[in-house]
Amino acid sequence: MPMNLATGRRPALAAAAYVGLFCLIAAIAVLWSVLRGSSWSEQAVVSLSIGLRLFSIGIALASVHRWGDRLPGWLVLAGLWGAAAVQLLYPLAETVVKTLILTGVMEPMNKGISNMSADGWFNFGAMWVIWGVPGVLFLLAALAYRVRRPAPWAWVLLGVVGGAALLFGLGLLIG
């Protein structure tokens, strides 16, 4: 039976499973680090990331399970779009920068997203695996949810702007 991404539940379930696997791996890494002598405060950023991603799992599951119908549709829709934005903005920005460098429009600074070394390309791939793939899944889940439970586009905008603001805040916290 063909899957209809516009109304299907699979993108939300896949997003929840994919992000859940990340949370499990990251939590094991945090615990391992603490057991080897690192303090919990040194693991704060990763722990915050795990917490936010667990919240996004809840939003994804709320979009496809009956218990999620108790939540306002606009809240779930904004949450899905926010999760998509948070996870897609940085990989998309890095893709644009690398494309500009490869086409000669921009000169590389060889740090951050303009790093064109082997390490830079490895990080680029990892960025898409860790953030981009679930971001695309959340985007598909948001589109499917809006078909099932229509809500004004203003909530989509709120989710994207809220997700971008959260990403910016995390960047300030980390950097």
**26-67 residue pLDDT tens:** 999 999 999 998 888 888 888 888 988 999 999 999 999 999
DSSP 159: H
* Predicted pLDDT at 18: 96
pLDDT tens track for 9-29: 999 999 999 999 999 999 999
Q: Which domain holds residue 128?
A: 10-174
Residue with the larger pLDDT of the pair 139 and 113: 139
Give residue 165's Cα distance to chain centre: 13
Query: Looking at the 3D structure of the chain, how many domains does it have?
Result: 1
In a domain, 5, yes or no: no
Query: Nearest Cα to 87, choosing from 32, 30, 151, 142?
Result: 142
In a domain, 1, yes or no: no
The identity of residue 54, as a single letter, is L
Which residue did the predictor score with more confidence, 110 or 139? 139
pLDDT of residue 1: 42
**Domain membership flag for residue 124:** yes
Residue 40 lies in a domain: yes
4 belongs to a structural domain: no
Q: Please report whether residue 122 resides in a domain.
A: yes
The residue whose two tokens read 């985007």 is 139
Identify the burial level of 17 via C-beta atoms within 10 angstroms of its C-beta, where 0-12 means exposed, 13-18 middle and 19 or more buried. Answer: middle
Amino acid at 140: L
Asked whether residue 77 is domain-assigned, the answer is yes
pLDDT above 70 coverage of the chain, percent: 95
pTM of the shown model: 0.86
Residue 81 domain-assigned?
yes
